[in-house]
Amino acid sequence: MRLEDCKIIVTGAAQGLGRHFSLRLAEAGAKVAAGDVNEEGLNALVEESKLLKGSIVARKLDVGSEADIGTFVAWAHDAMAGLTGLINNAGILRDGLLVKRDKATGAIAKLSAAQWQAVIDINLTGATFMVRDVVAKMAETSQRGVVVNMSSIARYGNRGQSNYSAAKSALAANTKTWALEFAPFGIRVGAIAPGMIKTPMTDGMSDKAREALVAMIPVARIGVPEDIWLAARFIIECDYFNGRTIDVDGGLSM
């Protein structure tokens, strides 16, 4: 698929990777429907895109709400006069050890149900319903296209991320499942599993933690959004890529 032919939804578009994807797509001439809970960030994104070859329209989207997802997909289809794909990017972190001992008191503490459920609701259930509703709309209109899921190298397991690892590994597995299911509609599905990438989500790390992580990366640097965009662009443009997850992590093993 040519980028200039894309009419594509990007979730989590107000900042970080989603913002970068949206601008890169619009630079190439694509039409983008950007969604996020951060309306201020969306407004800034639309303003920045005004001189680009393509276009970005934006609307508040809470992927934790099934009703909101349905409304957004219908709106995006109408706003772009069609729909050819999805970059399924929205996600959150609520890290914590499943079981830990308090260093001061020696008491055993457990990961809360709220921490677990918040990540599952957004990163897995919401992401799944986004795919469902986008593909249903494309199938109704006999539109071929592509879905790009955002997984993570945490899908292999990472200390303190039981919830995040569970969600991201499920997305990688379902990338294959959905590629098989959506083949009759002419819709491909690919996924990207980023490593450590410089985004607002990772900027909160301490210098010590950041330095320790960089020391584990063979290319000796943290990734930038452009690194992940190159993988997204490949998935969109290569019509023979389907049902696979690309690790873009600088060679990091967690």
Rounded distance between C-alpha atoms, residue 219 and residue 202, angstroms: 18
Q: Decide: helix, strand or coil at residue 197.
A: strand
Q: Which of 145, 114, 139, 111 is nearest to 9 (CA)?
A: 145
By DSSP bridging, strand 108-110 and strand 99-101 are antiparallel
Helices (H), the chain: 16-27, 39-48, 66-80, 113-119, 127-140, 162-182, 207-214, 225-237
Rounded distance between C-alpha atoms, residue 135 and residue 80, angstroms: 16
List 21, 72, 129, 164, catalytic entry: 164
Q: Are 188 and 179 in contact, with CB atoms under 8 Å apart?
A: yes
For helices 16-27 and 39-48, the axis angle rounded to 10 degrees is 30
Residue type, 202: T
Task: Tokens for 71, please give them.
Answer: 């409304």
Q: Are 244 and 191 in contact, with CB atoms under 8 Å apart?
A: yes
Instruction: Say which residues have a Cβ less than 8 Å from residue 54's Cβ, sequence separation at least 6.
Output: 4, 25, 26, 27, 28, 29, 30, 31, 32
Q: Among this protein's residues, is 164 annotated catalytic?
A: yes
Could you give the residue numbers annotated as active site?
A: 164
